Structure 1
Amino acid sequence: MSIIDNKAYAKVVQNGVQAVETVHELHAAGYRKEDIHVLAHNQDRTDRITEAADAGGIGIKEEGVFTSIANLFRSRGDELRATIEALGFTEAEAAFYEKELDLGKVLVIARRS
């Protein structure tokens, strides 16, 4: 796995099992729990995979206050795109990843804090 230290790393996987494996690979590569985030289109699925993988949650620290508050009023797709952008990706990248999540895939993001 090639990981660039200064830029956020993202990998789209097919399911939760692959997400857990990817998180474990990132832990082995030196990423801390709070550096790794998992996103699925369904919030409950995101929470279950995050817990099973021992990844960090996404909150105000990662998103920023404005994005966190705005996400309370957004659709899930808009919320996911805003969160992905807040984690260091462009608008186009966020749109691509959100479409993958629409297809039932899981996104694993790692970035050094």
Structure 2
Amino acid sequence: MSAELRTAIINLLVTKALEIDEPDWCAGHRTNAAQFKPDITHYGPEHIVEINGFPVLQAMLAQSPYAERAPRDLTLYVEQGDFTGSYSPAEVEQLADALVQAGQQLRLLGRDLAHLLAGGAL
């Protein structure tokens, strides 16, 4: 009786440098160690909206040109700061002011995004 050879398929994560085009507005990448090409995202300068040193929003241009499950288009990526908590009446007013300021800054960033999408430069 002869022994039959068995085979197995093993997935390997092979790493190598990949040279990619980078848009003029890109300020860098959060990491230079993307595991897969779809993980690559270009980020613009980060804009932080604060009130009394307390971050309310962070916003930046972002584009994932090789994404498989997310938009590939240039977008404005917005993160919400951690402003959960209990507030006094004066603090509620401060928070409301911060949200108004955040809205104003988001509108400006949205206009910058529209300008870029129309073929302009920053």
TM-score bin (small chain): under 0.3
Q: Determine which structure has the larger strand proportion and give its number.
A: 2
For the pair shown, which has the larger CA radius of gyration, 1 or 2?
A: 2
TM-score by length of 1: 0.24
